A and B are shown apart, each in its own frame.
Chain A
């Protein structure tokens, strides 16, 4: 390592969580693109079977395989992987027990479905175990990936998802799964990992962000940044809108000055100010937890490749 570590984003495993609808997949993808700049290679991973990455990059559903999904100026690349718990279990069995044909037999009798269904802890160990494997994988003494970015489950499930040892300890006291989960647990608590929480400046996402940070802190899992997504530029900073002034301004600009237009603009300005006050107080709540915070602008054109690149460079500047 060393030469390939980005000093502003020093972790090698970036776990991106956030409430549903906050754009965590978009942010995870932008981070993977940003960290791939300068000829690096990153891996963007999803674990919930949503095929969110494929939809974002508008490609066919991803198989359980690391495939290049984007090239980055300067020779870098982002690969993507959708981890499927069944496939991960089979791969795991194959790796440790060489159960090639037997693995298929296991699937036939329903053992895989069984194992990943009854024990959600086991499922999460398999998923996080695969992420760990990709993060630490090397070839000829060089790491395959400069960084791995995980589009993780949402804030409501992130603590349980990452607290793998506790979940498996309920089920198994010995055996390789326990060893595996301990390996994952220590990786998640080391400086190699950073868990970033994506939020909007809205009440529920901010509340869930604060809850998730408290939960992860209590679990001693390495926290990264708070990423405020969809931030709007500050307008009307003087804070007051008077209709008379508005009318004068509109006349000057050659726009209609009828009551409907003036009242409409005044009402929209008032709603904007209400919203901004709320956003301001939510910013304050976020600031109280003392985590480094980045704001990403709302993408007017949506999260297409140009939009993702814009977010990527915002992230790398931060």
Chain B
């Protein structure tokens, strides 16, 4: 069995500057991130900001977040007795991308880029943009040195690994051979289709056939406009990656005790280890518990079947179902902890209802350290 994860020590340590919560969709990453933020501010007196990507509406409201506006807002109802503060913000992906563009190019070029249909598509729908921009925002927040602790909730991606891969993919893409080929006309003044290399001839023919010539014109315009920014993109992606590898960062894997979520967590743990990222531990969320685990499911069911007192029979059936669920969850959780005995683990007891206020987040924080 894995050693217990000491969440309070992690939150209290002034050297911990960034906590990244990651895991599959639907496991409670956002709630966990928010609960860590509440505890860091209230119990450990740290000036904390929680960067959320796509919170559930009611959770967002509970933290006073009503719009995606990239502005950290102070969360009300936080006990500031220990000198801590909690702020929360929601990522505005497009605005973050726009800001990056503005920072790296002239206003005129920026205007050209913003007007390009490719930029519009890419800045709002590119499959890695959200991840890339989340990391960009994290880099910005860290650079201001305004916060004791930044807690990041990662995007609800296809794969929990996307936010690690997206920045590299984007910069590889923006740096790639393909773009250099497309850029050729912008640099030489000749049409890109006058290139006579065999493979590129085939490529341009195919692309023209499939996508139409307008698309290529837009694309080459986009690429030409972005040309001046390539170095910037790459440099920033590299910098953020280095921050993630630094000991000031702690990755927390969040998993619900379900097969898929645990499998995803295992992939992620492998990756973090391989990339020498600081994996602090795994949080098993929504684990069921019973105070009377000595009364087995089998015995409860047998007694329920034997009694004609309906209420007692049902109460016993409720208990039996709970015991079976606990057993199932423990065996699923064990597939992770057995595979990664060196990764500290903590669990959060399942709550009968969802959390959507600061009190609920505080409770989750308490459960996390108990």
Residues 336-369 (chain B) with a chain A CB within 8 angstroms: 352-354, 356
Least CB separation from A272: chain B residue? B318
Segment with Cβ contacts to B, from A67-75, A114-122, A217-225: A114-122
Q: Give the chain A neighbours of B241 by CB distance below 8 A.
A: none
Closest CB in chain B relative to A20 CB, distance in Å: 3
Residues B56 and A246 in contact, CB atoms below 8 Å apart: no
Considering only CB atoms and an 8 Å cut-off, how many residues of chain B contact the other chain? Answer: 76
Q: Mark contacts of B120-148 with chain A using CB atoms, 8 A cut-off: 1 yes-contact digit, 0 otherwise.
A: 11100111100000000000000000000
Residues B125 and A121 in contact, CB atoms below 8 Å apart: yes
Least CB separation from A264: chain B residue? B292
| Cα of A116 to Cα of B291 in the assembled complex, Å | 53
Residues A109 and B203 in contact, CB atoms below 8 Å apart: yes
Least CB separation from A271: chain B residue? B352
Least CB separation from A180: chain B residue? B210
Residues 180-214 (chain B) with a chain A CB within 8 angstroms: 181, 198-200, 202-203, 206-207, 209-212, 214
Decide yes or no whether A183 CB sits under 8 A from chain B.
no
Q: Give the chain A neighbours of B333 by CB distance below 8 A.
A: none
Residues B210 and A171 in contact, CB atoms below 8 Å apart: no
Of the candidates A48, A92, A114, A268, the one whose C-beta lies within 8 Å of that of B176 is A114
| Cα of A143 to Cα of B354 in the assembled complex, Å | 46
Number of A-B contacts (CB under 8 A): 218
Residues A21 and B290 in contact, CB atoms below 8 Å apart: no
A110-B177, A204-B56 known; A253 vs B203 contact (CB < 8 Å): no
Residues A236 and B311 in contact, CB atoms below 8 Å apart: yes
Of the candidates B159, B203, B321, the one whose C-beta lies within 8 Å of that of A111 is B203
| Cα of A202 to Cα of B285 in the assembled complex, Å | 15
Decide yes or no whether A141 CB sits under 8 A from chain B.
no
Of the candidates B26, B128, B212, B315, the one whose C-beta lies within 8 Å of that of A22 is B26
Residues A302 and B328 in contact, CB atoms below 8 Å apart: yes
Decide yes or no whether B111 CB sits under 8 A from chain A.
no
| Cα of A301 to Cα of B325 in the assembled complex, Å | 10
A118-B173, A246-B315, A249-B307 known; A99 vs B206 contact (CB < 8 Å): yes
Residues B24 and A21 in contact, CB atoms below 8 Å apart: yes
Q: Give the chain B neighbours of A110 by CB distance below 8 A.
A: 176-178
Residues B173 and A248 in contact, CB atoms below 8 Å apart: no
Of the candidates A21, A122, A249, the one whose C-beta lies within 8 Å of that of B312 is A249
Decide yes or no whether A136 CB sits under 8 A from chain B.
no
A118-B126, A249-B312 known; A261 vs B295 contact (CB < 8 Å): yes
Q: How would you classify the secondary structure of chain A's contact residues: helix, strand, loop or mixed?
A: helix
Residues B309 and A21 in contact, CB atoms below 8 Å apart: no
Decide yes or no whether B83 CB sits under 8 A from chain A.
no
Closest CB in chain A relative to B148 CB, distance in Å: 30
Decide yes or no whether A241 CB sits under 8 A from chain B.
yes
Decide yes or no whether B109 CB sits under 8 A from chain A.
no
Residues B25 and A154 in contact, CB atoms below 8 Å apart: yes
| Cα of A235 to Cα of B310 in the assembled complex, Å | 9
Of the candidates A19, A21, A99, A118, the one whose C-beta lies within 8 Å of that of B260 is A21
Q: Give the chain B neighbours of A20 by CB distance below 8 A.
A: 24-26, 156
Least CB separation from B204: chain A residue? A111
| Cα of A242 to Cα of B319 in the assembled complex, Å | 16
A109-B181, A156-B156, A272-B318 known; A261 vs B353 contact (CB < 8 Å): no
A110-B176, A241-B315, A246-B315 known; A178 vs B212 contact (CB < 8 Å): yes
Q: Give the chain B neighbours of A284 by CB distance below 8 A.
A: none
Decide yes or no whether B79 CB sits under 8 A from chain A.
no
Residues A172 and B319 in contact, CB atoms below 8 Å apart: no
Of the candidates B311, B321, B328, the one whose C-beta lies within 8 Å of that of A245 is B311
| Cα of A154 to Cα of B363 in the assembled complex, Å | 29
Closest CB in chain B relative to A14 CB, distance in Å: 21
| Cα of A271 to Cα of B178 in the assembled complex, Å | 58
Residues B259 and A302 in contact, CB atoms below 8 Å apart: yes
| Cα of A97 to Cα of B206 in the assembled complex, Å | 8
Q: Give the chain B neighbours of A25 by CB distance below 8 A.
A: 260
Residues A170 and B121 in contact, CB atoms below 8 Å apart: yes
| Cα of A265 to Cα of B258 in the assembled complex, Å | 25
| Cα of A64 to Cα of B65 in the assembled complex, Å | 44
Closest CB in chain A relative to B325 CB, distance in Å: 9
Of the candidates A111, A167, A248, the one whose C-beta lies within 8 Å of that of B309 is A248
Q: Give the chain A neighbours of B199 by CB distance below 8 A.
A: 102, 105-106, 108-109
Decide yes or no whether A291 CB sits under 8 A from chain B.
no
Decide yes or no whether B118 CB sits under 8 A from chain A.
yes
Residues A268 and B319 in contact, CB atoms below 8 Å apart: yes
| Cα of A108 to Cα of B118 in the assembled complex, Å | 24
Top 6 nearest A-B pairs (CB, nearest first) are A249-B312, A20-B25, A21-B26, A264-B292, A175-B212, A20-B26
Interface residues of A (CB under 8 A from B): 19-22, 25, 48-50, 52, 55, 92-93, 97, 99, 102, 105-106, 108-111, 113-115, 117-123, 153-154, 156, 160, 167, 170-178, 202-205, 207, 232, 235-238, 240-242, 245-246, 248-250, 252-256, 260-261, 263-269, 271-272, 274-275, 278, 300, 302
- 28 inter-chain pairs at a CB distance below 8 angstroms, sorted by A residue, are A21-B26, A93-B210, A97-B209, A99-B206, A102-B202, A109-B178, A109-B203, A115-B207, A117-B126, A117-B169, A118-B126, A119-B121, A121-B121, A160-B125, A171-B211, A175-B215, A177-B211, A203-B56, A205-B26, A207-B56, A232-B321, A241-B315, A250-B312, A252-B307, A260-B292, A264-B295, A274-B353, A275-B352
Q: In the complex, given contacts A20-B156, A250-B303, A268-B315, what are 5 additional A-B residue pairs having Cβ atoms less than 8 angstroms apart? A: A111-B178, A171-B118, A175-B210, A175-B215, A267-B291
